[in-house]
Amino acid sequence: MSVNRRSAIKQLLYVSAGMALLPACLQHTTRASLALKNIKVDGQQEKMLAELVEAIIPATTTPGAKALSAHLFTLIMIDDCYTKEDQQKWLSGLQQFNKLCIAKNGYAFEKCTPVQSAAFLEERETKKTDNSDISFFYNTTKHLTIQAYISSKYFLTNVQIYELVPARFKGCVPLKPITRKIA
């Protein structure tokens, strides 16, 4: 009888461990790469945001905004520096932005071709004065993307070289005498 009890307890242990792990295995959304305190963004939304910042500042001979992690900078700034109302407005705009892109193009923003995403963003640019959550999301993301790019290490060391003290002292420069007629 004790062998049956042991095997029953062992099977019960396996079943309960499986039941505890099952929800994690069935989860369809991926996790974001950052642990944020105030806003909740999943991996799919982070991927869409990465493609958006890449569309705003694409890679050419210089790296694009995605390569410089401007999307992560945007998430951190929204999480740390914006009010709760603005955070909720930004998150609502993020969801509506992707839904609008699906309605216009048939695809989520990260799956659109560069031509489709450029046309979609051009339409967003013409509606800058709109007070909707989508406009707030797009304008805030664009502003933070540019801020992230121009304050990145790459930009400050290779594009616009940052000097701590911009004026140089040149002690040995010949001066030309000023010849001015006094009337």
Domain regions of the chain by residue span: 43-159
The predicted model gives 8-21 an average pLDDT of 75
Cβ atoms of residues 91 and 48 within 8 Å = no
* pLDDT tops 90 at residue 85: yes
Compute the distance between CA of residue 183 and CA of residue 180 in angstroms, rounded to an integer.
9
User: What is the structure's pLDDT at 128?
Assistant: 66
Q: What's the CA gap between 36 and 79, in Å, rounded?
A: 7
Phi-psi region of 132 (alpha: psi -120 to 50; beta: other; left: phi over 0): beta
Task: Sort residue 42 into left (φ over 0), alpha (ψ -120 to 50) or beta.
Answer: beta
Is the distance from CB of 19 to CB of 25 less than 8 angstroms? no
* Dihedral angle, C-alpha 79, 132, 71, 33, nearest 10 °: 60
pLDDT digits (tens, 9 = 90+) for 31-83: 656 677 878 888 888 899 999 999 999 999 989 999 999 999 999 999 998 99
Q: How far apart are CA 86 and CA 107, in angstroms?
A: 27
Given this model, what pLDDT does residue 92 score? 92
The per-residue pLDDT for 66 is 92
> pLDDT (tens digit, 9 = 90+) per residue, 116-155?
888 888 888 887 667 788 889 999 999 999 999 999 999 9
Highest mean pLDDT among 22-26, 91-95, 132-136: 91-95
Q: What would the DSSP string read from start to end of 55-108?
A: HHS--SSS--TTTTTHHHHHHHHHHHHS-HHHHHHHHHHHHHHHHHHHHHHSS-
Give the torsion through C-alpha atoms of 12, 13, 15, 17, to 10 deg: 160
Q: What tokens appear for 86 in the block? A: 């603005």
The pLDDT score that the predictor gives to residue 151 is 92
DSSP structure string for 119-137: HHHHHHHHTTT--SHHHHH
Task: Please state the pTM of the whole predicted model.
Answer: 0.70
Q: Which residue has the tokens 């909720």?
A: 88
Contact 44, 30 (CB under 8 A): yes
Q: What is the pLDDT of residue 10?
A: 79
